[in-house]
């Protein structure tokens, strides 16, 4: 039964960690932590027969594969010393610092579960995970690595235990890994769980994969060669990989009634390129040679999944009539897809890891927190467990707003849940729903990729009690209930408080700190209001925006420049008549680019804002204008927004991208807008001058699917 696995030593760990943690002092400290843990665990053995220290060492090794930071690696080495040895948390804090101490105590707490009835045990578990997450997500990531190594050595346990652990892993840990976007860990956990839960199914699939392997390998290899040649002809630097499908994902598809022989993506390729633009270009080139299957094209670059995943997916008829699922993404996107967004950023930008983790998971935490708050009094234990299981951990669907924003909802969600998720006000003024251009009943069960439009009316009398039966999400039900249980004023006050809290959270501020006595006075004075509740009330009933309140205390900051944008708004781009040094901004209503006729507008306290002379916003501002010119030496690219109206509902993104790639512009973002009878694309791109842009507009209007192309002025 024993599997040959490499026995790791501390040198292996230092080797792998040293690849991304470069300070020798840090590595020395990791060694010291290891020596301590080894001494503490000496004389202890795992059920597998190994010395116990092999376990924490392996957990740390797993963490290096997702580039975890030094504190996480150290905490992984120490994660069992409090539970299994005589160390105390305070001893660890004293020896190795507060950060590591906190992580170790977090993991230890997670491991101390109270077994009683199954539900109670789950509640305890979920609560601990939630608390752990809100304090420091690294605790959960260490726990995931711990779980993974335990699963890898599960063969050493008796069968009953195996099944129990595998079930736990599949229900709790794999979904959490998915939510954090750590694909590597998620899919190994799933495969291992399946192997112990349903060994027959697992080995059956594995065997089928094996017997067809040779044939598949050859086909994949030939296809790989074809695609490589094709991309090289077009000078696209790339790497191409045949891709192994996980056994669990095949199992999932079989469960849904698909036949083994029909599963498209058994034959799969992944293409890695350098830039986002090359992704689209590669896609266009591949489609020009291999016919794509309609409706299998997915653009997760323009519309990333909520866990940060980005990639283009397409399925084409490849060689010998085999279907190939092809994924195209940049190296960076691949890193995120494999290791999770948090570890990627921490690693790439050498940021304080704990801060990055906190930021990227903030949205998810709010989900957890909302349920935690509910659980406190309003819900039975059973409801609590069910709602966590349904809404947080399992089976989410992704649907779209008409603008193309992704909304994540639990399976079984209805348009009511969608409306309330967009905004409570949308939910409360909802009168109907349109899904994929047809009117549906409010009880319609939303499906993946549905495009949902909510019809609202000012005259709506609010939700009906019937909706409580139709809504799926606990959050929705709670909002509906609170509509009925409170009188209006209270409701508005609460709503106002919520939106202020949300707005402040974006700025990383707590509502308590913000509303100091002094600040309340200042706001009330400015807006002629009467105390804190009155402020909440005015925000809640829509008379005053949350941001307006905040800006009274904190004057507006400039909008941050888009990350990665290949442009710096340099003062030297624009020459202002008669003035030497002055702050200059390009207006983001009309986005002027070199070659455009431009006029400067003198703002109050924010320098000169440059508009196109035809911008309608200027007519209001006439007497504060100043003459400006483009600096002819500028060689930057500038943002321009182009809207392409097609005459069809078919996805024409590929044709459009192909045209765009013929002109020297960089695409930043493409938004697909679904109209009733046409698709409209809004493209944010960077271009050096108006001549190039005009050439692009011309090229695009030559496409037979294009009805009209225009530059946007907002
Ligand atoms: Mn452990």
Whether residues 260 and 339 fall in one domain: yes
- Gap between the Cα atoms of 156 and 574, Å rounded: 71
Q: Are strands 638-646 and 406-410 parallel, antiparallel or unpaired?
A: unpaired
| CA 110 to ligand 1 centroid distance, Å | 11
Least confident of 150-164, 409-423, 497-511: 497-511
- Gap between the Cα atoms of 282 and 231, Å rounded: 7
- pLDDT for 480 equals 86
Task: Give the residue among 43, 46, 35, 40 at the shortest CA–CA distance from 11.
Answer: 35
| CA 249 to ligand 1 centroid distance, Å | 27
| SS3 (DSSP) at 369 | helix
Q: Is the pLDDT of residue 405 over 90?
A: no
Query: Phi and psi for 291 in degrees, rounded to 5?
Result: -70, 125
Task: Tell me, yes or no, if the pTM score tops 0.75.
Answer: no
- Gap between the Cα atoms of 604 and 308, Å rounded: 39
Q: Report if residue 676 sits inside a domain.
A: yes
Q: Is the pLDDT of residue 377 over 50?
A: no
Q: Are strands 638-646 and 706-711 parallel, antiparallel or unpaired?
A: antiparallel
| CA 146 to ligand 1 centroid distance, Å | 5
Rg, Å, the chain Cα set: 28
* Beta strand segments in 285-372, E: 298-299, 312-317, 323-330
Q: Which residue has the tokens 């309340």?
A: 520
367 — pLDDT class (breaks 50, 70, 90) = very low
Task: Give the residue among 437, 428, 445, 433 at the shortest CA–CA distance from 481.
Answer: 428
To the nearest whole percent, how much of the chain has pLDDT over 90? Answer: 19
Q: Report if residue 1 sits inside a domain.
A: no
**Which CATH number fits the domain that encloses residue 677?**
3.30.70.260
The rounded Cα 421 to chain-centroid distance in angstroms is 17
**Domain span at residue 459?**
363-467
- pLDDT for 1 equals 39
HEC letters along 62-119: HHHHCCCCHHHHHHHHHCCHHHHCCCCHHHHHHHHCHHHHHHHHHHHHHHCCCCCCHH
Least confident of 176-190, 399-413, 425-439, 450-464: 399-413
**Which CATH number fits the domain that encloses residue 389?**
3.10.20.30
The rounded Cα 665 to chain-centroid distance in angstroms is 27
Which residues does 80 contact at the CB level (< 8 Å), separation at least 6?
A: 41, 52, 55, 56, 111
- Gap between the Cα atoms of 53 and 17, Å rounded: 18
Under 8 Å between Cβ of 205 and 247: yes
Q: Report if residue 356 sits inside a domain.
A: no
Give the pLDDT confidence of 237-247 residue by residue, as tens digits: 999 887 667 88
Q: Report if residue 207 sits inside a domain.
A: no
231 — pLDDT class (breaks 50, 70, 90) = very high
For the segment 342-359, the average pLDDT, to the nearest whole number, is 47
- pLDDT for 37 equals 94
| CA 56 to ligand 1 centroid distance, Å | 6
Q: Which of 636, 670, 698 is the last residue of a domain?
A: 636
Give the pLDDT confidence of 611-645 residue by residue, as tens digits: 888 877 776 655 677 788 888 777 788 889 899 99
For the segment 190-208, the average pLDDT, to the nearest whole number, is 91
Q: Report if residue 420 sits inside a domain.
A: yes
For the chain, what is the mean pLDDT?
79
The catalytic residue positions are: 83-84
Whether residues 38 and 187 fall in one domain: yes
Q: Which of 532, 553, 574 is the last residue of a domain?
A: 553
- Per the document, the length of the chain is 714
Q: Which of 440, 467, 494 is the last residue of a domain?
A: 467
Most confident of 166-170, 317-321, 487-491, 659-663: 166-170
Under 8 Å between Cβ of 92 and 53: no
| SS3 (DSSP) at 563 | coil
Query: What does the angle CA 91 – CA 41 – CA 39 come to, to the nearest 5 degrees?
Result: 70
Q: Which residue has the higher pLDDT, 329 or 495?
A: 329
Whether residues 670 and 701 fall in one domain: yes
Q: Report if residue 5 sits inside a domain.
A: no
Total domains, the chain: 6
Q: Report if residue 202 sits inside a domain.
A: no
Q: Which residue has the higher pLDDT, 37 or 221?
A: 37
Q: Is the pLDDT of residue 602 over 50?
A: yes
Whether residues 577 and 665 fall in one domain: no
Whether residues 372 and 270 fall in one domain: no
- pLDDT for 350 equals 46
Whether residues 257 and 338 fall in one domain: yes
Whether residues 645 and 632 fall in one domain: no
Q: Which residue has the higher pLDDT, 48 or 392?
A: 48
100 — pLDDT class (breaks 50, 70, 90) = very high
Whether residues 164 and 22 fall in one domain: yes
Whether residues 100 and 159 fall in one domain: yes
Q: Which residue has the higher pLDDT, 640 or 172?
A: 640
Whether residues 219 and 298 fall in one domain: yes
Under 8 Å between Cβ of 180 and 221: no
Q: Is the pLDDT of residue 340 over 50?
A: yes
Give the pLDDT confidence of 43-90 residue by residue, as tens digits: 999 888 889 999 999 999 999 988 888 999 999 999 999 888 888 888
Task: Give the residue among 312, 287, 281 at the shortest CA–CA distance from 299.
Answer: 312
**Which CATH number fits the domain that encloses residue 92?**
1.10.3210.10
Least confident of 79-93, 227-241, 283-297, 652-666: 652-666
Q: Is the pLDDT of residue 328 over 50?
A: yes
| CA 151 to ligand 1 centroid distance, Å | 11
Whether residues 177 and 91 fall in one domain: yes
Task: Give the residue among 62, 112, 57 at the shortest CA–CA distance from 82.
Answer: 112
- pLDDT for 149 equals 94
Least confident of 386-390, 638-642, 660-664: 386-390
| CA 83 to ligand 1 centroid distance, Å | 9
| CA 198 to ligand 1 centroid distance, Å | 25
Q: Report if residue 330 sits inside a domain.
A: yes
- pLDDT for 651 equals 74
| CA 525 to ligand 1 centroid distance, Å | 58
Find the DSSP H helices in 246-352: 247-255, 276-289, 331-339, 341-349
- Gap between the Cα atoms of 603 and 556, Å rounded: 14
Residue 260 DSSP class: G
To the nearest whole percent, how much of the chain has pLDDT over 70? Answer: 80
- Gap between the Cα atoms of 457 and 462, Å rounded: 10
CB neighbours of residue 379 within 10 Å: 16
Find the DSSP H helices in 112-182: 118-135, 137-152, 159-168, 174-179
Give the pLDDT confidence of 564-578 residue by residue, as tens digits: 333 334 446 787 776
Whether residues 485 and 463 fall in one domain: no
| CA 513 to ligand 1 centroid distance, Å | 40
- Which residues are paired to 674 by β-bridges? 679
Which residues does 536 contact at the CB level (< 8 Å), separation at least 6?
A: 492, 493, 494, 496, 497, 500
């Amino acid at each position: 039964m024993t599997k040959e696995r490499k026995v790791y030593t501390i040198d292996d760990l230092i080797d792998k960690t040293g690849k991304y943690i470069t300070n020798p002092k840090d590595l020395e400290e990791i060694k010291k932590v290891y020596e301590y843990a080894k001494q503490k665990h000496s004389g202890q053995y795992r059920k597998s027969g190994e010395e116990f220290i092999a376990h924490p060492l392996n957990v740390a090794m797993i963490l290096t594969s997702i580039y975890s930071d030094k504190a996480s690696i150290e905490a992984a080495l120490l994660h069992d010393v409090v539970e299994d040895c005589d160390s105390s948390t305070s001893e660890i804090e004293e020896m190795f610092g507060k950060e590591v101490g906190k992580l170790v105590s977090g993991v230890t707490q997670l491991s101390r579960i109270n077994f009683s009835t199954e539900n109670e045990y789950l509640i305890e578990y979920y609560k601990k995970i939630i608390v752990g997450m809100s304090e420091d997500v690294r605790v959960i990531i260490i726990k995931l690595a711990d779980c993974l190594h335990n699963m890898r050595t599960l063969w050493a346990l008796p069968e009953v235990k195996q099944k129990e652990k595998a079930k736990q892993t599949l229900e709790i840990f794999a979904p959490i890994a998915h939510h954090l976007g750590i694909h590597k860990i998620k899919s190994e956990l799933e495969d291992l769980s399946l192997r112990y839960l349903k060994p027959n199914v697992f080995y059956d699939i594995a065997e089928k994969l094996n017997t067809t392997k040779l044939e598949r390998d050859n086909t994949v290899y030939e296809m790989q060669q074809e695609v490589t040649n094709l991309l090289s002809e077009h000078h696209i630097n790339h790497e191409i990989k045949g891709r192994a499908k996980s056994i669990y994902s095949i199992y999932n598809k079989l469960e849904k009634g698909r036949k083994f022989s029909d599963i498209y993506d058994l034959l799969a390729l992944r293409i890695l390129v350098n830039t986002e633009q090359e992704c689209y270009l590669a896609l266009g080139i591949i489609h020009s040679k291999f016919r794509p299957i309609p409706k299998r094209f997915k653009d997760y670059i323009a519309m990333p999944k909520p866990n940060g995943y980005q990639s283009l997916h397409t399925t084409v008829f490849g060689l010998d009539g085999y279907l190939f699922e092809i994924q195209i993404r940049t190296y960076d996107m691949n890193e995120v897809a494999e290791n999770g967004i948090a570890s990627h950023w921490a690693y790439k930008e050498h940021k304080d890891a704990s801060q990055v983790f906190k930021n990227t998971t903030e949205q998810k935490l709010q989900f957890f927190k909302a349920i935690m708050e509910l659980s406190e009094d309003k819900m039975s234990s059973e409801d609590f467990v069910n709602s966590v299981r349904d809404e947080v951990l399992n089976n989410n669907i992704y649907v779209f707003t008409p603008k193309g924003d992704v909304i994540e909802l639990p399976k079984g969600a209805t348009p009511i849940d969608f409306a309330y998720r967009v905004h409570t006000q949308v939910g409360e003024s909802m009168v109907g729903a349109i899904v994929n251009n047809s009117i549906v009943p409010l009880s319609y069960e939303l499906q993946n990729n549905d495009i949902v439009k909510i019809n609202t009316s000012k005259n709506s009398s609010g939700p009906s009690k019937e909706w409580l039966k139709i809504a799926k999400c606990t959050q929705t039900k709670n909002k509906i209930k609170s509509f009925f249980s409170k009188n209006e004023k209270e409701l508005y006050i609460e709503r106002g408080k919520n939106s202020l809290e949300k707005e402040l959270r974006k700025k990383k501020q707590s509502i308590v700190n913000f509303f100091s006595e002094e600040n309340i006075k200042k706001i009330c004075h400015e807006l002629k209001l009467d105390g804190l509740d009155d402020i909440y009330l005015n925000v809640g009933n829509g008379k005053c925006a949350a941001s307006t309140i905040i800006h009274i205390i904190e004057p507006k900051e400039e909008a941050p420049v888009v990350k990665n944008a290949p442009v710096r708004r340099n003062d030297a781009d624009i020459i202002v008549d008669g003035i030497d040094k002055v702050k200059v901004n390009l207006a983001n209503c009309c986005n002027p680019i070199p070659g455009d006729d431009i006029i400067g507008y003198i703002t109050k306290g924010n320098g000169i804002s440059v508009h196109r002379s035809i911008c309608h916003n200027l007519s209001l501002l006439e007497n504060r204008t100043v003459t400006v010119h483009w600096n002819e030496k500028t060689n930057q690219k500038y943002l321009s927004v182009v809207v392409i109206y097609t005459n069809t509902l078919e996805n024409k993104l590929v044709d459009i991208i192909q045209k765009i790639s013929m002109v020297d512009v960089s695409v930043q973002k493409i938004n697909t807008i679904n109209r009733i009878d046409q698709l409209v694309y809004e493209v944010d791109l960077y271009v050096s001058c108006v001549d190039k842009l005009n050439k692009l507009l011309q090229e695009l209007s030559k496409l037979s699917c294009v009805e009209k192309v225009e530059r946007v002025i907002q």
